[in-house]
Amino acid sequence: MNKRFQSMCHSMMVLLLVAITSLPMTALGQAYPSKPVRMVVGFAAGGPADVIARALGRRLASYLGEPVVVENRPGADANIAMDVVARAAPDGYTLLLAQSGLSINPSLYGKVPFDPLRDFIPISFVGEASNFVVVHPSVPVHSLKEFIDYAKANPGKLNYASTSSPTQLATEMLNQMAGVSIVRIPFKGAAPAIPELLSGRVQVMISSIGTLLPHVKANKVRVLAVTGAARSSLTPDVPTVDEAGIPGYSATTWYGVVAPGGTPRAIIERLNSDIRKVLSEPEIKSLLLAQSIDAAPSSPEEFDAFIRADIAKWQKVVKTSGAKID
């Protein structure tokens, strides 16, 4: 009888353990998170992606009950950061502040160490931003049309700061559609490129409105156009590239949060819920608007569909423009 009882107890324990391990995380007492969360950014501190990540991280921490530590891993148009997150444990403790490079880089680069669809799970869209087209005051132009004429008359003499793959393709699209040749100078983000622009060592830059606006207001650079389909509410007098002389041109940079592939659904849903709360806060909305971004939280499924469509869009642009980085 005693052996039989012991055998029954053992069987019940096994069944109980199986049942517990198969329970969703929410049924296990909200075990996540129990330590700090890392948010990786693929660009240098001080740039638009870094500003957004730090604002999101600071407020997200208040909902998670654990610190959100921003880690800058600049280089290779954010490919380094994306590889770090793709290889991280899928446990919700490593996130990526993703931007358009996630969907652009697999086409632009000959080879990347990650698959944008297999190696990441979308959590939420954050928003997208138009950019400024600016020149150093030493360039004798005051409109986009004058700039195009000047660039055509001086082929290869102007260079531009390439701070990310989205702004690189935005500039290459301008090159192609305007029939000009501006030389690319790569940087690990907008922050290290700004001093070179202000000094005149690079003469042209396409970057976020929030990053460039203070320098425009200080008359240190001259704005020629906005890259989006509509004018920015921050600078309603500045025309779009389309209006200023290149019909059909439109290029923006989007931002969102993703996790490593395989991250449990319960964690994705928890993070999505909290990020939605963060993006509804007036302070965060104002901060994003200063970067010319309207907060636009989404479901994971909506963000996934957006990324898939964006990959297809930029595959066509890269193919048509011939832009390639080996």
The predicted-structure confidence for 169-178, as pLDDT tens digits, reads as follows: 899 889 989 9
pLDDT value at residue 189: 87
More reliable by pLDDT, 159 or 15 = 159
Residues 264 and 125 in one domain: yes
Cβ pair 51, 108 in contact under 8 A: no
pLDDT in tens, 119-159: 999 999 999 989 999 999 999 999 999 999 999 999 989 99
Residues 136 and 121 in one domain: no
Write phi, then psi, for 224 (nearest 5 degrees): -110, -35
Residue 3 lies in a domain: no
Residues 56 and 150 in one domain: no
Around Cβ 140, how many Cβ atoms within 10 Å? 9
Domain termination residue (choose one: 227, 244, 261): 244
Residues 231 and 180 in one domain: yes
Residues 107 and 122 in one domain: yes
pLDDT value at residue 7: 52
Write phi, then psi, for 126 (nearest 5 degrees): -105, -50
Q: 211: domain range?
A: 131-244
Is it the case that residue 286 has pLDDT exceeding 70?
Answer: yes
pLDDT in tens, 270-284: 999 999 999 999 999
Residues 146 and 238 in one domain: yes
| Average pLDDT along the chain | 90
Least confident of 79-83, 157-161, 167-171: 167-171
Confidence of residue 290 (pLDDT cuts 50, 70, 90): confident
Count: domains in the chain: 2
Q: pTM to 2 decimals?
A: 0.79
Confidence of residue 292 (pLDDT cuts 50, 70, 90): confident
Residues 238 and 153 in one domain: yes
Span 161-181, mean pLDDT?
A: 91
Is it the case that residue 306 has pLDDT exceeding 80?
Answer: yes
Residues 187 and 94 in one domain: no
Residue 146 lies in a domain: yes
Residues 259 and 121 in one domain: yes
Residue count of the chain: 326
Span 297-303, mean pLDDT?
A: 98
List of residues 6+ apart from 24 with CB closer than 8 A? 265, 266
